[in-house]
Structure 1
Amino acid sequence: MASFLGTALAWLALAAPAHALPSFARQTGEECAACHIGAFGPQLTPHGMRFKLEGYSETDGKSGKIPLSAMLVASSGHSKADGNSTPSLQEASLFLGGRLADHLGAFVQATTDGHAQGKFSMDNVDVRYARTVDLKDGDLLLGLSLNNNPSVTDPLNTAPAWRFPYMSAELQETPSPLLAGGMEMQVGGANAYALWNNVYAELGLYRTLPSGFLNDVNVDLPDQKISGVAPYWRLAYLKDNHKDAWSVGLMGMNTKLVDRITGGPSDKYNDIGVDATYTYLGDRKNIFGLNAAYMHERQTLDASDDGAKVNLNRFDVSGSWHYDNTYGLTAGLFDTSGTGSENDSRGYILQADWTPWGKEGSWGAPWANVRLGVQYTGYTKLGNYDDKASDHNTLYGFIWTSF
């Protein structure tokens, strides 16, 4: 299975290194604000969720659309512990994003940063095939996805791959459940999903991608690999009332990791999470959003810590307000706790942003999109750092553009 996924992902990532927000807008003939809250990704409106679940293949019927886009992020940050960073290119990405054939679409990203000397690496990949079946009791949407990041397939912004903050400084590393980014880009998954009468269900199987392939796409090799396959599952209820929308859901993953080269005993990670969202859309002038998620992980470390048993908990909540898809304010809280004080980390994130381009009628639409933002991350607890947690508080500014 890993060999098959590796071949498929390599072809997509290398033969057509692309995806993106503007390419979706050009394909559908709609403004970016139709699918994204605040006229910029990744927060999705109910319409944007449907577009994603239907395989990125909706079109305005006009041919000749090229599904290519690019993204640039320039930023600068400051903290007492780390001092000032000079303004620099934080990230540059190329995307293949949109319809490939009837019912088939892709979101494929290749990324470089200011330290990579122009070398691009494989980023998020999500290639989908989806069909809708008419049933007596309502439409049944069925889909398949090949991807490289558990939860990148999710339509909600409570999922680890898409939660706030959507852009951030290079902060201090804090413990987090394995499902929350611990395997991204290093694994290949085949996922089946369905949406029927507001109920969304997904099941995926993941394996670590071959070392040769990861080297070819410039992804760092993991110290451990998945033993066998790791099942990922998702269940959620999504309700769209047009003026507002909400959801509640569950997700989980069971993973056994062994030494990448020698094999041997395994470290076991059992993750389970619960999440909820609420979005007030109204007349689309003032949009309010609330996202919350809690995840619990039980670890049995037979390979790396003589069978030690560790519990790890993570809670994230964020609330946002966007006015006229132009001005945005977001506040978030994060809290990680578990066995041992080194796992305790908590704090808050405040962000203000301005999105002058990205709406119908704005300059260069839908080719030009830009967001300018300032963000402050404050820590009240940060593991076992000898210095004060507040010394790592970070002020961060960014310019984020896609075209």
Structure 2
Amino acid sequence: MSSSLPLRLRRAAYAPWLLLVALLMFASNSAHAIPAYARQTGSACADCHAGAYGPALTPYGMRFKLNGYTDTDGQGTKIPLAAQITGSRNVPERGESTTQLSEADVYLAGRISDHLGGFVKVVTENIGDDHYNTKLSNLDLRFVAKDLKIAGKETTVGVAINNSPGFDDPIAALPYASSLGPPAVSGTLLNLSSAHTLYNRVIGGSVYALYDNDWYGEIGTYNTMPTSMIDHLGYNPASDPGRLSDTGYFRFAYMKDLKRQFFSAGVVALTTKRQLPRNAPSDDITDLGYDLTYQFLGNREHIVQVSYVNILEQRDYGSTPVVGGIAAKSQGNARDQTLSVTYTFKQSYALQVAHLISTGSQDPVRYPPFGKPDSTANMISLYWTPFGKDDSFTSLANLKIAGTWYRYTRFNGASMNIFGAPVGALITNAKDLDAFTLSASVAF
């Protein structure tokens, strides 16, 4: 495809990126505290999360996740069920503003036995004009053996089955766990905002272990679901991530809980052969990244968390299309970087700022019209959570009111006329993708 194509074809080619930007607005920060866990453990949501509505986990919350969601207060069986309703007012830089009931979620989350637990989220979302789509969102089922001793050190060993590599990560810094990834024209497989993301469209398993409370390791594998299954689970088959084979996933991290502070440093790797579309030659893809997280917890009055994630993807393409006498490159790369800083006051008031960067190698055939897929955005979010703490009106239900700004400085390799519209046509600049969203979520 090249910039010499007719305008109607260029519009068809670029339309998915506009949809991607819209979806990103609702994907970020979608992980929340689950009241079912509070009922099960007898602990408030604020014990597991830096903010009483999430998403960032405290060391206590990380241990609860590693223990397979099985910890309990011993006061009998609790129903592992919770729900969430979200309404939003979205004001884009260009286009019509909307006010709607944007999402309703059901969670099956909690303990099955001493060694079995899980997290299942089913989402019904408003896709426009009051039409709703129900889909299976996040899945994380675990079998865990706790209180083991290896070389005299405490050890936890578990098996996890999930539909997003990295969602089960205890630190919750990786994109699929944090629900925060840069808007990407051609992002990495581990970025939930990539056009053909693996997020919620694969199924896999891994074995993990925590040794001496500090050393975490995980190894596993994933396969994409059949396109018919992706459709039945509520996802557009056009978002198919392709066929995966020979897939390996690896995660290693050092975590240090200093009671009033927490620090972690980790590496992550994913290697696979991907056919996209599924009858195409295979691309060899390897993702390799690292992440750093620091939390100042203090006495929980002032909490600061800083996280940085850097993931590089190397690609050996199985085909090299030729357009206008120019051949696509046989190799390429993509890099996704996220830097986020969150300040939380009394676990009720919070400010989060994130800088999101996605870059890739130059290729005029694969990335028309400018030959670069680079995108840069900033997110600013303010929110208030009055409940979910031991001293609040209730610790078993929650409310979150948030205002979120997205500001784009670069998209599709440019800041101006980002889709390469010809003279006389409607021009879209990067800043035209800016948007403000005011939302209110209730969980119970």
Q: Same fold (TM over 0.5)?
A: yes
- The structure with the larger Rg is 2
Alpha-carbon offset, residue 216 of structure 1: 3.2
Alpha-carbon offset, residue 118 of structure 1: 4.4
1:150 maps to which residue?
165
2:282 is matched by which residue type in structure 1?
Answer: S
Say whether 1:376 aligns with 2:405: yes
Q: Secondary structure at the match of 1:177?
A: coil
* Higher mean C-alpha deviation, range 186-195 or range 204-213: 204-213
User: How is 1:225-236 mapped onto 2 (pairs within 5 angstroms)?
Assistant: 225-236=242-253
Alpha-carbon offset, residue 259 of structure 1: 4.8
Alpha-carbon offset, residue 86 of structure 1: 1.3
Q: Distance in 2 between matches of 1:21 and 1:63?
A: 19
Say whether 1:125 aligns with 2:147: no
| Gap runs ≥5 in structure 2 | 1-31, 322-327, 363-370, 420-427
Computed over aligned residues only, the root mean square deviation of the Cα atoms, in angstroms, reads 2.1
1:277 maps to which residue?
293
Q: Which of 421, 438, 443 matches 1:397?
A: 438
1:62 is matched by which residue type in structure 2?
Answer: Q
Say whether 1:347 aligns with 2:377: yes
- Whether the 8 Å CA contact 1:42–1:162 is kept in 2: the answer is no
User: In structure 2, do the counterparts of structure 1 residues 303 and 334 end up closer, same or farther at CA, with 3 Å as the change threshold?
Assistant: same
* Higher mean C-alpha deviation, range 97-106 or range 216-225: 216-225
1:248 maps to which residue?
265
Q: Distance in 2 between matches of 1:336 and 1:212?
A: 31
Q: How many residues align?
A: 378
- Whether the 8 Å CA contact 1:75–1:87 is kept in 2: the answer is yes
Alpha-carbon offset, residue 388 of structure 1: 2.4
Q: Distance in 2 between matches of 1:88 and 1:301?
A: 43
* Higher mean C-alpha deviation, range 109-118 or range 125-134: 109-118
Q: Which of 156, 164, 178 matches 1:163?
A: 178
User: In structure 2, do the counterparts of structure 1 residues 79 and 67 end up closer, same or farther at CA, with 3 Å as the change threshold?
Assistant: same
Alpha-carbon offset, residue 162 of structure 1: 2.6
Alpha-carbon offset, residue 330 of structure 1: 1.1
1:323 maps to which residue?
345
Q: Secondary structure at the match of 1:47?
A: helix
Alpha-carbon offset, residue 213 of structure 1: 3.3
2:103 is matched by which residue type in structure 1?
Answer: E
Q: Distance in 2 between matches of 1:89 and 1:175?
A: 31
1:179 is matched by which residue type in structure 2?
Answer: L
User: In structure 2, do the counterparts of structure 1 residues 247 and 106 end up closer, same or farther at CA, with 3 Å as the change threshold?
Assistant: same
2:309 maps to which residue?
293
* Higher mean C-alpha deviation, range 252-261 or range 301-310: 301-310
Q: Which of 98, 113, 131 matches 2:125?
A: 113
Q: Distance in 2 between matches of 1:315 and 1:33?
A: 28
| Gap runs ≥5 in structure 1 | 1-18
- Whether the 8 Å CA contact 2:48–2:60 is kept in 1: the answer is yes
Deviations 1:339-363 (A, max 9, x none): 1353111121111111011112323
Alignment TM-score, normalising by the size of structure 2: 0.80
- Whether the 8 Å CA contact 1:164–1:318 is kept in 2: the answer is no
1:67 maps to which residue?
80
